[in-house]
Structure 1
Amino acid sequence: MSEKAEIEDTYAEAFKGIYCRVIVTAAYKETVKKTAEDATATPATVIGRTEAGIEKWLEKEETPDGRPGAILQFWGGIQKELRGAIEKFEKELSYRIRQDILVKPFTSVFDAHPAPKGSLDMMKGVGHCGDGYEWVEERFGRKMIVVPLMVPNFQIERRLGYATGVMGGNFWYLCKTKKAVMKAGKKALKAIEKVEGAVNTFDICSAGSKPDTNFPEIGPTTNHPYCPSLKKQLGSKSKVPAGVKYIPEIVLNAISVDAMKNAMKAGIQSARSVEGVVKISAGNYGGNLGKYKIHLNELF
C-alpha cells in the first residue's frame, strides 16, 4: 500500500455564484443518464454562460413522479450586481433545459432547491416552446407547465428556486504517472458523489487556469508555471516539483461552505492514497478571485 501524499499548506480560492437545484426524471434510466450527462457536459461559467453537475442519481421511489431520476445543479457567475446576474442566469438556464432536457423523450423537471431565496418563472424561457399551446396544471402536488411535443409531452415545474452558493472550490493532485491521474481522479469523483449539496463540474480537469492572461478576449488561460511541459523553458519560474509529470484539477461547486469542505475532504482523502500521487495542492490567486479561502490542512 502506498503512503498518503503530502498535503501542501495552502488554500483553494472560491467565489459566490447563483444556482438552481432540480430533479430530472424520465421513463427509462438510460434516458435519465444521457439527459443528465448532456445537460452538465459543458462548464462555461468562465466564458459568461453556465455550468452544471450531477449531484445524485435517484431511484423511482425518490422522485415526485415515481420514475428514475437525477439531482442536477445549474450554476451562473456573479460579475457585478445580483439582479443582472440572475437575469442572465435565467436565460442561460433556459438554453440548457431546452436543448439538453426537453428534447429527450418523456422527461420532466422538478424544483429541488433546499432553501431558495427567490424563484424563476419557466414559462417565458421554456414553456413557450409549446408555441402558445402549452398549459399549466396541478400534477404531483406541483404547478407544472406541460409543453406539447411530437413525442408527448415535456413537463417542468412552473417556478424553479434559486439562491447563492460557493463556486470554484478545487484541489490539485500532483502525479508521476498517467495511471495515477485517472485512478485517483475516478476515486475522488466517486467520493464526491456521496456528498450532499456538492457537484463536480469538470470531471478530471487537465486545464487548470489563471485569471490573468495575455489574451483577455478568450477568458482564463493556462496556468503556465504549473505546466510540466514548460518546466525546462521556464526554468526557475516553473513551480512544477521534481518528478511530477501531471497536475490534474478537481473543481467543485456547492450549496454552502460546509458542503464544499465536505466534498473537498472526501475527494482529497480518496486521491491522496493512490500510488503515483505525490502531493495535494490547490489553485489560489492571492485572494483576488473570490471571498472564500478553504485551507486544505484545516479540512482534516
Structure 2
Amino acid sequence: MNYDKVEDTFFEAFKGRYVRAIITGPNKEIVKQAAYDSTSTPGAVIGRVEGGVEGFLDKNQTPDGRDGAIVQYWFGSDDLEKFELELSYRIRQDILVKPFTRVFNYNDNPEGFIGMEKQVGNCGDGYEWKVNEFNKTMIDVPIAVPDFQIEEKLAYSEGIMGANFWYMCDSEEAVLNAGKIAIEEILTVEGTCAPFGICSAASKPETNYPWIGPSTNHYYCPSLKDKLGNISKVPEGIKYIPEIVINAIDEDSMKKAVKSSIDAICDIDGVKIISAGNFEGKLGDKTYKLLDILR
C-alpha cells in the first residue's frame, strides 16, 4: 500500500467507559431502527452518552434466537451515576418504544455493572417484574405492546474514545464514496464503532461561545480559506475535510480499524490527503502517529 497521501501527523485519543449490548427484535428492520436510533446522537463533548453500532447478528448468534445488533454506548466521565441516567434515556426513548425488543448484556470482561431497574425497569411504574429466561435474569417492563425486556445489569469497561482521521477531498462524490467504504470497513472490526459516521464538523476545544461547547475548527473550514488568509490550514485544491471518529474496546481493535479503513480509501479518486485532528497533544490522554499504525 502506498501511503504518500498520508501526512506525518497524529491523533489524540482518551479513555472512556463503554457499555456493549445486544438489541434483539422480531425482524431486521426493527432491530436496525432501534440500534441506529439509540446511537444516533454523539454527545460525549457535551457530557452525554455517545453511541455507535458495532455490527449486526444472525438469529443463531443472539441469546433469544432473533435478529440482533451489537451496540456500544460510551461516556467520557467517571461519574457512573450520570452514565446510568444518560444511558437510560437512550434505552427508554429509542429501544423500549420499539415493538418486541429486548436488550442483553454483551461484555465478557467487565469492570463493573450498571443496574437497569432504577432508570429503565421503573418505566413499568412499579408493575415490572423479573423473570429467568435465556439463562439470564431479565426485567419485564409491561407496555402497551407486551412487553419490553432488558437484562437486569449491563456491564461497563474502559476503552478508547476519539481516535480519528481526516480524508481531504476535492469532490462531494469522494466524500460520500470514501466515507461509506471507511464505515463499512470499521463495521467489520470487532469491538469498534464510528459514532459520528461521516463527520463534517471538526471542532476545537477553545470557543468564543463557551456555553455551546466546542465550536467549528475554523482553520480547517474550506469556505473560510479566503477570509482567513495566511492562518487558514486548508491545503490548496481541497474543498472538503470530512472526519471519521473511532471508539474501540481496546487499543489493538482501534489500530486495526484505523488501518483497514484508511487502506480501503487511500487510492480512491478525489481523496487527496489523509490527515488527523489533534490539538498538539493537549486534549487526549494518548497520541498515535498515523504512519506508525499504517506501517
Unaligned runs of 5+ in 2: none
Structure 2 equivalent of residue 212 of structure 1? 206
Q: Is the 8 A contact 1:21 1:73 kept in 2?
A: yes
Rounded to whole Å, the distance in 2 between the matches of 1:5 and 1:106 is 50
**Superposed, which structure 2 residues align to 1:214-293 within 5 Å?**
214-293=208-287
Q: Which of 146, 151, 154 in structure 2 is aligned with 1:160? A: 154
- Alpha-carbon deviation of 1:45? 1.2
Which moves more between the two structures, 255-264 or 103-112?
255-264
Structure 1 equivalent of residue 42 of structure 2? 43
Structure 2 equivalent of residue 70 of structure 1? 69
| Residue 166 (structure 2) pairs with residue 172 (structure 1) | yes
- Alpha-carbon deviation of 1:147? 0.6
Rounded to whole Å, the distance in 2 between the matches of 1:100 and 1:5 is 43
What is the letter of the counterpart of residue 135 of structure 1? W
What is the letter of the counterpart of residue 16 of structure 1? K
Q: Deviations over 1:150-200 (max 9, x none)?
A: 100100000100011111110000001101000000010011100010000
| Residue aligned with 1:124, SS | coil
| Residue 14 (structure 2) pairs with residue 20 (structure 1) | no
Q: TM-score if structure 1 supplies the norm length?
A: 0.96
Moved over 6 A (4+): none
Over aligned residues, Cα RMSD in angstroms?
Answer: 1.0
Q: Is the 8 A contact 1:210 1:221 kept in 2?
A: yes
Rounded to whole Å, the distance in 1 between the matches of 2:264 and 2:83 is 33
Structure 1 equivalent of residue 183 of structure 2? 189
What is the letter of the counterpart of residue 67 of structure 2? P
Structure 2 equivalent of residue 149 of structure 1? 143
Q: Percent of counterpart pairs with the same letter?
A: 56
Rounded to whole Å, the distance in 1 between the matches of 2:108 and 2:179 is 29
| Residue 104 (structure 2) pairs with residue 97 (structure 1) | no
| Residue 119 (structure 2) pairs with residue 125 (structure 1) | yes
Q: Deviations over 1:129-165 (max 9, x none)?
A: 1111111111100010011111001000001000111
What is the letter of the counterpart of residue 31 of structure 2? V
- Alpha-carbon deviation of 1:114? 2.9
Rounded to whole Å, the distance in 1 between the matches of 2:186 and 2:127 is 42
Q: TM-score if structure 2 supplies the norm length?
A: 0.98
